[in-house]
Structure 1
Amino acid sequence: MSYQLIELDIQATDNIQCLHCQQHVINWAEEQYIQPCEHVLFIAMDIGFEYMTDEFEQTMPRSVDDLHAHDDQVNMFAEIVKSTYPDYLIFKSDLGIEGYFRYVGFTA
C-alpha cells in the first residue's frame, strides 16, 4: 500500500490544514474555499474531484474526465487508492451528507 489513510474527527465545516506547511487547504473563511498548497495532490469528494495535480492524475488508471463522466457509477475513494503514486497521505473527513466524505491527498 502506497498510501496511509488518516480519518479526521472534525465537522464538515471545519478547515483542513496541511501537515507540512500548516496552510488551510480547505478554508471556509475564503470565497474560494479550496486553497491547495504545494503539498496537496488532490482534493476529492465521493461525488467528484475538486482539485488534482497533473502529477497525481498521471498515476491513476482513469482520467479525472473519465471519472466525472461516470461519477454515478464510480467509487471515488476506490479510484484514488488505485494510484501508483509512491507514498501519500489521505485525510478523510465528513462531507456533511450522511455517508459521503471528503478526501485530501498530501505528499508523505
Structure 2
Amino acid sequence: MTYQLIQLSIQATDNISCPHCQQNIIDWAEEQYVQPCEHTLFIAMDVGFEYMTDEFEQTMPRSVDDLHAHDDQVNMFSEITQSTYPDYLIVKSDLGIEGYFRYVGFTA
C-alpha cells in the first residue's frame, strides 16, 4: 500500500484544508469551492472527479475519461487506491448523501 487513509469526522459542508500548507482545498466561501494547492493530487467523489493532476492520472490503471464514462459501475475509492503513485495521503469525508464520500489526495 502506497497510501495512507485519514477519515475526517466533519460535516459535508465543512472546509477541507491541506495538511501541509493549510490552504482550504474545499472552501465553501468561494464561488469556485475547489481550490487545489501545490500538494493536491486529486479531489474525487464516489460520483466522479472534481480535480486531478496529470501526474497522478498517469499512475492510475484507467483514465479519468474512462472512469467518468462508466461512473455508474465504478468504485471510485478502489480506483484511486490502485494508483502506483509513491506515498500519498487520502483524506476521506462525508459527501452529505448516505453512503457517498469525498476523497482528497495529497503528496505525502
TM-score of the superposition, structure 2-length normalised? 1.00
The CA distance in 2 between the partners of 1:24 and 1:81, in whole Å, is: 23
Alignment of 1:70-81 (within 5 A): 70-81=70-81
The CA distance in 2 between the partners of 1:30 and 1:49, in whole Å, is: 19
Report the number of matched residues: 108
Q: Does 2:86 align with 1:86?
A: yes
**1:63 — aligned with what?**
63
For structure 2, the residue ranges without an aligned partner over 5 or more in a row are none
**1:20 — aligned with what?**
20
The CA distance in 1 between the partners of 2:33 and 2:40, in whole Å, is: 14
Residue 97 of structure 1 deviates from its aligned partner by 0.2
What amino acid maps onto 1:2 in structure 2?
T
What amino acid maps onto 1:71 in structure 2?
D
Residue 71 of structure 1 deviates from its aligned partner by 0.2
User: Which aligned segments of 4 or more residues in structure 1 are displaced greater than 3 angstroms?
Assistant: none
Q: Does 2:99 align with 1:105?
A: no
Indicate the SS of the match to 1:72. helix
Residue 82 of structure 1 deviates from its aligned partner by 0.3
The CA distance in 1 between the partners of 2:17 and 2:72, in whole Å, is: 29
**1:32 — aligned with what?**
32
TM-score of the superposition, structure 1-length normalised? 1.00
**2:53 — aligned with what?**
53
The CA distance in 1 between the partners of 2:25 and 2:76, in whole Å, is: 20
RMSD between aligned residues: 0.2
For structure 1, the residue ranges without an aligned partner over 5 or more in a row are none
